[in-house]
Amino acid sequence: MNTIETLYSEAVNLLKSLISTQSFSREEDKTADIIEAFFKQHNIGTQRKLNNVWAYNKYYDKAKPTILLNSHHDTVKPNSGYTRNPLDPAVEDGKLYGLGSNDAGGCLVSLIVVFMHFYEQTDLKYNFCIATTAEEEVSGTNGLELVIPDLGELEFAIVGEPTLMQLAIAERGLMVLDCTAHGKAGHAAREEGENAIYKALADIEWFRNYRFTEESELFGPIKMSVTIINAGSQHNVVPATCTFTVDVRVTDAYRNEEVLNIIQQQVSCDVVPRSIRLKPSSIDKNHPIVQAGIKLGRSTYGSPTTSDQALLDIPSLKMGPGDSARSHTANEFIYLKEIEEGIELYIKLLEEIV
């Protein structure tokens, strides 16, 4: 069995290799190759679909429940504020710099080596499946969502995202709604037409003020924000249509479909969701993995950010080294100590139940 120091060294070397390889969303083939090669180097068989790579523990037993360990290897494109080479995995003052180092490279490599730690153990109560996936940053359909049907039955998941190794036991879902209010065109100088803007205003006011009956213990009420509005073609024409966009952050008190149905019943405009894929997610605070984390001094909270956790229909815990506040920032970095502590905490957490 590898020591924490050995696992840490393996993780950091792998992360440096991933940082130095461009892996923008939908362009992750080269980092998928690196991950495949890493597993092969350690005599671990893998499966791959597009840029998603996954593996199971050596003594996988269909009669046992399976824990999914998941994180992503795609990155956003570097923003204009970078003063460093985003693909240079430089280490300074205990920090490892580079694009994707914090989001979510540190989580990814930590989970990979934690999987290796358990890989050859024969007396586990659970199986392990490690899935390193693509397109998370763009909520794409060719990432985790694509391979979920291939992974088999899963009991629960740990999703690696930077949480300072605290326990994100719930995550908001997201729906973006395209709304259209209909009126009738006419000349603005005469009493004709039906102004679609005025019709839209009533619905916009509803979105601003409505409170759903159920509220989340962690998040409170569902949050709805009108963020874009468009209408009219010229000053003297009463507009026949007014379109607006609503950002809806759904809590674990509802399913996306329920929220959409309530909205469509209450407003007069046409409401079309761009997607209902990004579901709110949660895991019971009394779940053994959460209780194991609490026992280790970790705190629970609800995460306001969306991740691949939204694509899972099983209980899932979001947890990982790094700080979400550093994600997508210029000169992104993760503390090396965070990776070492993350590996150790992941192992202690899982040993409590497996």
Tens-digit pLDDT profile for residues 83-134: 999 999 999 999 999 999 999 999 999 999 999 999 999 999 999 999 999 9
Tens-digit pLDDT profile for residues 273-306: 999 999 999 999 999 999 999 999 999 999 988 8
Phi and psi torsions of 82, nearest 5° = -60, 130
- Domains of the chain as residue ranges with CATH: 4-171+280-352 (3.40.630.10), 173-273 (3.30.70.360)
What type of residue sits at position 6?
Answer: T
Q: Strands of 223-344 (E only): list them.
A: 223-231, 237-238, 241-250, 270-273, 281-282, 300-303, 316-318, 333-335
Spans of the chain, pLDDT less than 50:
none
Q: In the prediction, which pLDDT does 1 show?
A: 60
Beta strand 52-56 with 127-133: parallel, antiparallel or unpaired? antiparallel
Q: In the prediction, which pLDDT does 189 show?
A: 83
Q: In the prediction, which pLDDT does 37 show?
A: 98
**∠86-90-91 over CA atoms, to 5°?**
140
Whole-number Å distance between alpha carbons of 123 and 127 = 10
What pTM, to 2 d.p., does this model score? 0.89
Q: In the prediction, which pLDDT does 274 show?
A: 95
Q: Which two tokens stand for residue 66?
A: 């399976």
Whole-number Å distance between alpha carbons of 131 and 120 = 17
Burial 122-142 (b: 16+ CB within 10 A, else e): eebebbbbbbbbbbbbebbeb
Of residues 322, 318, 319, 300, the one with CA closest to residue 309: 318
Q: What is the mean pLDDT of the chain?
A: 96
